[in-house]
Amino acid sequence: MAGGDRGSSEAAAEAELRRGFETLAVARPDPSAEVYEVRLNRPAQRNALSPAAFAEIPRAMALLDRLPSARAVVLSAAGPHFCAGIELGGPGNPLTAASKGADPAAAAEGLRRAILGMQAALTAIEQCRKPVIAAVHGACVGGGVDIVAACDIRYCSRDATFVVKEVDMAIVADLGALQRLPRVIGYGNAAELALTGRKITAIEAKEMGLVTKVFNSKEELDAGVAKIAKGIAEKSAWAVMGTKAVLLRSRDVTVEQGLEHVATWNAAMLRSNDLKEAIRAFLEKRKPVFSKL
């Protein structure tokens, strides 16, 4: 992309972010850090996922993917709870709308397309080239677990609880938990949570590997995750994005295929200016200054 085109694309992304969202709050809390926060912002509804949320999450992720000043993303929530899952019975619920109709085949296809659309909305978190770090507090239920599972790194406060609730609602979890959780916490743990609908504490989530660290309070969680995200954002963006891409690719293929993929990746990326700068900085005993995206 030419310099002028890149600048206009960045300006367009920033302008769209400034227009705001109905269900999210997207901001750069610390001007000195190239970190953006995406906050679920329906506290009165315990951040339940409405049709508008399913439309806005992929939009926000796509904008931050394009924005050079966003080198890491923190996904958090406003109010006392992280997410109560999918909003039930609200106006415009895609599952309710899609299941209506005289023709059962048409209704089934409409429902299938609605589910695929909601799946794609949460997969957008995973597909964002920038690392997305979940900061969870309070209750994280159903679709909230799907969101967390799509993030790259997960942290929580001591009051956090997690539950895969769908089996108690007489449905099969279909937004990613059954596909992603076994890779994060192992098949046995994922099966137990999904089949029993059991609520687990922050400590249990840490023991299972669902979260990396438990902070004592939401304030400590916010400060700790901001520090971690800033540290990641200060590294070479090409190395960070490449590491995420290779990790995701390697998750779904054999070890041999993953090694082949990273060899091909590094055949191009080992020629980057950032690598030269990292070596110079190491030899000169100073902090490296990496190139902008």
pLDDT of residue 15: 87
pLDDT of 181-196, one tens digit each? 999 999 999 999 999 9
Q: Is position 159 annotated as part of the catalytic site?
A: no
Q: Is position 228 annotated as part of the catalytic site?
A: no
The residue ranking higher by pLDDT, 239 or 104, is 239
How open is the CA angle 88-197-194, to the nearest 5 degrees? Answer: 100
**Gyration radius (Cα) of the chain, Å:** 20
pLDDT of 67-124, one tens digit each? 999 999 999 999 999 999 999 876 556 666 556 666 888 888 989 999 999 999 999 9
Catalytic residue, candidates 10, 65, 174, 192 = 174
By DSSP bridging, strand 200-201 and strand 161-163 are: antiparallel
Mean pLDDT within 200-222: 98
pLDDT of residue 11: 83
Q: What is the DSSP letter of 83?
A: B
Q: Is position 103 annotated as part of the catalytic site?
A: no
Q: Is position 252 annotated as part of the catalytic site?
A: no
Smallest CA-to-CA distance from 53 within 24, 18, 79 is with: 24
Given a cut of 90, is residue 268 above it in pLDDT?
Answer: no
Instruction: Place 248 in a pLDDT band, splitting at 50, 70 and 90.
Output: very high
Smallest CA-to-CA distance from 69 within 14, 8, 132 is with: 14
Mean pLDDT within 7-33: 90
- Of 151-160, 220-229, 246-255, 269-278, which gets the smallest average pLDDT? 269-278
Q: Is position 231 annotated as part of the catalytic site?
A: no
The residue ranking higher by pLDDT, 92 or 135, is 135
Catalytic residue, candidates 110, 138, 143, 242 = 143
What's the chain's average pLDDT? 93
Query: What percent of the chain stands above pLDDT 70?
Result: 93
Catalytic residue, candidates 57, 86, 125, 232 = 86
Query: What percent of the chain stands above pLDDT 90?
Result: 78
pLDDT of residue 6: 65
Neighbours of 103 (CB within 10 A): 9
Q: What is the C-alpha to C-alpha distance for residues 134 and 225, in angstroms, rounded to an integer?
A: 9
Catalytic residue, candidates 34, 166, 222, 234 = 166
pLDDT of residue 100: 63
Q: What is the C-alpha to C-alpha distance for residues 147 and 133, in angstroms, rounded to an integer?
A: 11
Catalytic residue, candidates 56, 146, 152, 159 = 146
Contacts of 166 (CB under 8 A, 6+ apart): 142, 172, 173, 174, 177, 194, 197
